[in-house]
Amino acid sequence: MSESPVSVEVDGQILIVTLDRPKANAVDAPTSRALYDAFVQLRDDPNLRVGIITGGGEKFFCAGWDLKAATEGESAGADWGGGGFAGITEFWDLGKPVIAAVNGYAYGGGFELALAADLIVAAEHAVFALTEARLGLAADAGGLFRVPARLPRAIAFELLATGRRMSAQEAHNWGLVNRVVPQSELMAEAKDLALSLIESAPISVAAILEVMDATYGMNPQDGFARIRAGLPHYSKVYASEDAQEGPRAFVEGRPPVWQGR
């Protein structure tokens, strides 16, 4: 095992975060804080545009909360860091997109970690499950909210209350996963998706994330009222240099050069 359970790699404007805690990439409190530090790096570095979170190996993306640590006294109220469990499930001001490259089992908090990302690319053999109820727990690192918001109530309740496994293909069919690819193509596909995001203006992407989060579950009328009341990123879009650069580049037939302002 590496010295740190979390490693980061900068690939151009992409930050690749790898959770590597054999055997199951389970998360204890120190690991959660290390993940948070990695996502803070993504947020704070202006040269970084997109994050990719994946697991070490090919069997586990993340098995969720480290139950060995739990039996040794770590409580659900432990200090997970500023982003909540796994560093991102409650990271509200990240402002940049994250792609989960799910390379294997995503169980319990591991599924919740993937759900906290904005996009999911899964290997064909990946499996998703919310196992908490089988352990006398509850999926309170986001699963209780994010799954019912994205799936029909009956399917969401089944996943939450029975812990049944969902294949990558089924998750794709329900719209939880963006792309399903062979394991050998997983990271290339995640990077390709990241590059497609980088082609868009960073201020636009930040505004889209902000508006989607701020208007989650609202009807259109309330959504319009919310954005007109003022949102930091959205309010800057149309007065930005990038808003001038985009149309200019289109007319001139060249790729835009984004400034992020």
Q: What angle do CA 58, 90, 117 make, to 5 degrees?
A: 40
List beta partners, residue 101: 54, 121
Q: Is the link from the previous residue into 236 a cis peptide, with omega within 30 of 0?
A: no
Q: Residue 67 and residue 76: Cα distance in Å, rounded? A: 11
220 CB neighbour count, 10 Å cutoff? 8
**What are the Cα distances from residue 252, in Å, to 243, 244, 255, 256, 261?**
15, 12, 9, 10, 21
User: Residue 106: CB partners within 8 Å, gap ≥ 6?
Assistant: 61, 62, 113, 114, 126, 127, 128, 129
* DSSP H helices in 180-240: 186-198, 202-214, 220-228
Active-site residues: which are they?
Answer: 112, 132
Spatial separation of the C-alpha atoms in residues 88 and 66, rounded to whole Å:
17
Secondary structure class of 40 (helix, strand, coil):
helix
Kindly state the tokens that stand for 59. 């069997």
C-alpha triplet 181, 101, 170: angle, nearest 5°: 55
